[in-house]
Structure 1
Amino acid sequence: MSANTLYPPYPRSKFIKGITFDWSSRIRLAPGSDNWPLTWADDGHQYTVFGDGGGFGGTNEIGRASMGIARIEGDRKDYKACNVWGGKDAEHPATFEGKSWGIICIDGIFYMWRSGAASSDCYEFQKLYKSEDHGASWEDTCVEFNINSFNRSRGFFVPTFLQFGQNYQGARDNYVYMYAPEVKSLVWELQIPGEISLIRVPKDKITSQAHYEFFAGNEYGGTARWTHDGEQRRPVFYDANGVMRVNAVYNPALQKYLLVTQHTARNYGWGIYEANEPWGSWKTIYYSDCFVPEDWECKLVSYLSFSPKWWDNDGWEFVMVFSGREYNDAWNSIEGGFII
């Protein structure tokens, strides 16, 4: 870390002392496309969402789509990918534009948050779509939150799903959990101070907005309090330095919830946190103002996500996927491990 590294918002983890990355394992594909949130589906494959590019086999110009869906087949060291919906030579054409940082497979059905119609208006609305054919087509569920949904705030944006195991097996209960940064400014940039809301809904009611609940703080002893009144929601995570995009996954072997957040000017600093419950209390595993190695010419990283499938060594080893700007504007996978 540099001398200008910001202080993390939560104490260091005593369970996971740190993190290492094997930069020699990096695989770079799909130049020009970005984002790449991941879910592990019932068919054994992982699926991901990309933006502003041609996806796998494409470039910034060739096959370019505002948003697309891709399928990742194989293991961490030997995988192949193809475009399902949108992008170069896709199995099916994309039918609408937008951006997404949240996709999940539950009982064979895909759900995806569409955040606006482009990067510049990701704050405008958060709409939930579903697919019953593994991403080949998408239907608007009419669940929507937007900047006018709440009287006391501008709402939240770019929601992401808490990933559990394959096809949502191994989930803690019958709820689906989602994390979403709070909107502080309508400028597409770091939101300061950084606050993240936690939302949940019964998985069999995910297309019914009336059943959505918001985290409203902790009771004595750490039990979460929930409310249907979005005006009463409270942040489940706070970083005075800021928050932009987030990723969340459960590591079943370690029995830890892992949260990834961005905390410096767009495309630079990231933090990784662990907790015993989806609502904390959080402990810091990693906090840096520069994710990639110091000797890399390009240091711009815009999104980080854990693969929910590619755990190894009893959960102590992982694969992360990231995208960014310039040379990092692509699918980048790297292997890494937690330090005991």
Structure 2
Amino acid sequence: MLFTTHLLFLFIQFAYGQYPPPQINDSQVGIDTGYHGPLESCSCAEDRPRIKWITFGTNTSYAQDGGDTFYSTWGPDWDTWFTIDDSAGIKASCSPNGSNIIINKARGPSVADLRPATVNCLQKEWGLHGDDMGHGDDGSWKTTGLSWLDDVLYLWVSRNFAPAAGNNSLRQTAQNSCLLKSLNYGVTFQGPDDEECYTNPTFPGRLFGTPSFIQYGRNGEAGPHGSDKYAYAISNDGSWDNGDSIQLGRVPRERIANLSSKDWEFFNGSPSEVSWTRNLSDAKPLLYSQNQLSSTAAIYNPYLEEYILNEWYFPNRTGYGVYPQALYPTVWTWYASRKPWGPYRVVSNTSWPNAAWYNPSVLNKFWGFDGKSGTVITSGHAYLNHSSQVLSTIPFEIETFW
């Protein structure tokens, strides 16, 4: 790896006390499996790629911050906001029964100095940990993304189902996504409640079952490609793990707060011929790779002017196949593109043989100098025999063409 120093501790202390030191396990280093992209970049100035390859450092894990899906966003207060699913919360703040979905934020000027705190456990709204809210369908609510846009905090939720025999090759499926908003920094959320989202979701079915807004700047500060007028969101075809395709949607920023699917349209063109449709069923995938496109996040790197799609999957098909053997290895296949609608190319293909890192999300606030380094926040089964579903950070570096 290219790193000269280890990543300093994330979450060193809470606002009211010293945080316990993290566990660092060198055996969790990813294995670069090769293929460093094209030998030469495109000669076309507009589409000429900057990112050649991405490599990762050693994880730093925090066993006391348990949970899943740490999707992150950069708030107007300059804080880092993030979700946790299936957790008791930061320092057990949502104990004793935990919660399906939790909103958190962390203050601090650097990764080493962040101080996390729980903002909202959302237990009444979206259930205790594993609670199906009385629907009797063996499902529960999970988040697929969190974003600040123009002083409004937006949260995606969807209905997730643990796999059973015959259920889509043992994947954990996701469907019926809903968009919520908070006008008071996450204290309360407006939009469909549990019952309405269950019976009349924003996007019924699985085709847009795991939506997440593409992250630009702080508080949704706009980037290129019309992002001053539209908010873009990606979703796979309704699987937490091991999905098959990625769809792209957009909504006018002036109408996003309506929380209405009628305001949305979906990409159905090609990188050279961009077009949109109001009909989700007519959307054309940005990417198709069977069993290798899980629920994920995407971010725009303003320094290198490229979009990064943080994909991951379990080669053994599911996190619930034969527990815990099916969790290992995990593969991160990251993609990059000069435009939100592609074309996307592979810029990392990393296998984690002894760790189940999933749902990676780049911390938008902490790009390194010239955007050539950063930190990803992720969850997973960090150690074969010690702990599972813990918050971890992993540094990365970007090799560029020019």
Q: TM-score, normalised by structure 2?
A: 0.71
Shift of residue 309, structure 1, vs aligned partner? 0.9
What does residue 104 of structure 2 align with? 70
Q: AA paired with 2:223?
A: A
Change (3 A) 1:130 1:338: same
1:331 partner SS: strand
What does residue 263 of structure 2 align with? 211
2:307 partner SS: strand
**Structure 1 unaligned blocks of 5 or more:** 87-91, 148-153
What does residue 232 of structure 2 align with? 177
For 1:253 and 1:179, the matched residues in 2 are separated by: 22
Shift of residue 28, structure 1, vs aligned partner? 2.0
**Are the aligned partners of 2:107 and 2:115 in contact in 1 as well (CA < 8 Å)?**
yes
Shift of residue 162, structure 1, vs aligned partner? 0.1
Q: AA paired with 1:79?
A: L
1:212-227 equivalence runs, <5 A = 212-218=264-270, 222-227=272-277
Q: AA paired with 1:255?
A: E
Identity %: 25
Shift of residue 2, structure 1, vs aligned partner? 7.3
The partner residue of 1:315 within 346, 349, 371 is: 371
What does residue 103 of structure 1 align with? 146
Change (3 A) 1:13 1:203: farther
Change (3 A) 1:95 1:106: same
1:140 partner SS: coil
For 2:234 and 2:123, the matched residues in 1 are separated by: 29
1:314-333 equivalence runs, <5 A = 314-325=370-381, 327-333=387-393
**Are the aligned partners of 1:269 and 1:287 in contact in 2 as well (CA < 8 Å)?**
yes
For 2:265 and 2:235, the matched residues in 1 are separated by: 13
1:1-340 equivalence runs, <5 A = 14=41, 15-23=50-58, 26-28=60-62, 30-58=64-92, 62=96, 64-74=98-108, 75-86=110-121, 95-97=125-127, 98-116=141-159, 123-140=174-191, 144-147=202-205, 154-172=206-224, 173=226, 174-183=229-238, 189-191=241-243, 194-206=244-256, 207-218=259-270, 222-263=272-313, 264=315, 265-266=317-318, 267=327, 268-288=330-350, 290-291=351-352, 294=353, 298-325=354-381, 327-340=387-400
For 1:72 and 1:106, the matched residues in 2 are separated by: 18
For 1:321 and 1:240, the matched residues in 2 are separated by: 25
**Are the aligned partners of 1:12 and 1:284 in contact in 2 as well (CA < 8 Å)?**
no
Change (3 A) 1:46 1:314: same
Q: AA paired with 1:114?
A: V
1:82 partner SS: strand
Cα shift readout 1:186-214 (whole Å, capped 9, x = no counterpart): xx6523xx211000000121123211000
1:111 partner SS: strand
Q: TM-score, normalised by structure 1?
A: 0.83
Cα shift readout 1:230-267 (whole Å, capped 9, x = no counterpart): 22110011223532211100011111101011233345
Change (3 A) 1:167 1:12: farther
**Are the aligned partners of 1:30 and 1:55 in contact in 2 as well (CA < 8 Å)?**
no
Shift of residue 95, structure 1, vs aligned partner? 2.5
**Are the aligned partners of 1:99 and 1:115 in contact in 2 as well (CA < 8 Å)?**
yes
Cα shift readout 1:58-111 (whole Å, capped 9, x = no counterpart): 29975521110000111212111000011xxxxx86532321121111111011
For 2:307 and 2:334, the matched residues in 1 are separated by: 10
CA RMSD of aligned residues (A): 2.8
For 2:222 and 2:125, the matched residues in 1 are separated by: 33
**Are the aligned partners of 1:41 and 1:167 in contact in 2 as well (CA < 8 Å)?**
yes
Q: AA paired with 1:138?
A: F
Change (3 A) 1:137 1:303: same
Q: AA paired with 1:76?
A: V
Q: Which has the higher helix share?
A: 2
For 1:177 and 1:125, the matched residues in 2 are separated by: 19
Change (3 A) 1:31 1:301: same
Change (3 A) 1:118 1:108: farther
**Are the aligned partners of 1:319 and 1:333 in contact in 2 as well (CA < 8 Å)?**
yes
Change (3 A) 1:16 1:124: closer
**Are the aligned partners of 2:61 and 2:393 in contact in 1 as well (CA < 8 Å)?**
yes
